[in-house]
Amino acid sequence: MGSKMKVIVGSQNPVKLNATRNVLDKIYPQLEIEAKEVDSGVPDQPIGLEITIQGAINRAKNAFKKGVDLSVGIESGLLEVPHSITGYLDLQWCAIYDGAKTTLGVSAGFEYPPLVIEQVLNGMEVGDVMDQVTGVDRLGQKTGAVSHLSRGLLDRTGNTEQCVLMAMIPRMNEEVYFHE
């Protein structure tokens, strides 16, 4: 691939942009990446598998434009998980769109403390509750709740990189995923 890979991320969140750049830099020798704020078309705090994945796909498709090779949509949401403490795990989904097909990937999931989930189920956003719990303003655009809860062993950028890389797997192995 001699030409530049042009990628657009459907969010101005620096974590989503940096995570995408970190992964795609390792795959494409020449990368041009930009961020564009787009509508996810889902609530600010998605709850459920379908709606969270739809948010990621909507971000990717709404960011796509002529002249870009790939658009990336990343959406965090709460997924109902049996046998968990609160009933929910937080997962980040990545959708990567090339104008024809979409590939998906998901990050490692983690559980929020019960008091966070209680407030989220009463209509608050995870980010706002975690800002209150930690005293860090806009934690989700910095190291993230996962960093706070894992005591720094995994930060939000690393967690987001997981879903981006997983969504790239079919594109890195096109011959076994998309053979005609």
Q: Looking at the predicted structure, is the pLDDT value of residue 1 above 50?
A: no
DSSP line for 127-151: HHHHHHHH--TTGGGTT-HHHHHTT
Percent of the chain with pLDDT over 70: 96
pLDDT score of 160: 97
Band of residue 140 on the pLDDT scale cut at 50, 70, 90 = low
* DSSP notation for 67-97: T-SEEEEEEEEEEE-TTSSSSEEEEEEEEEE
**Model pLDDT for residues 8-29, shown as the tens digit of each residue:** 999 999 999 999 999 999 999 9
Would you mind telling me the total number of residues written for the chain in this entry? 180
Instruction: For domain 5-177, give its CATH number from 3.30.465.10, 3.30.360.10, 3.90.950.10, 3.30.450.40.
Output: 3.90.950.10
Q: pTM of the entire structure? A: 0.93
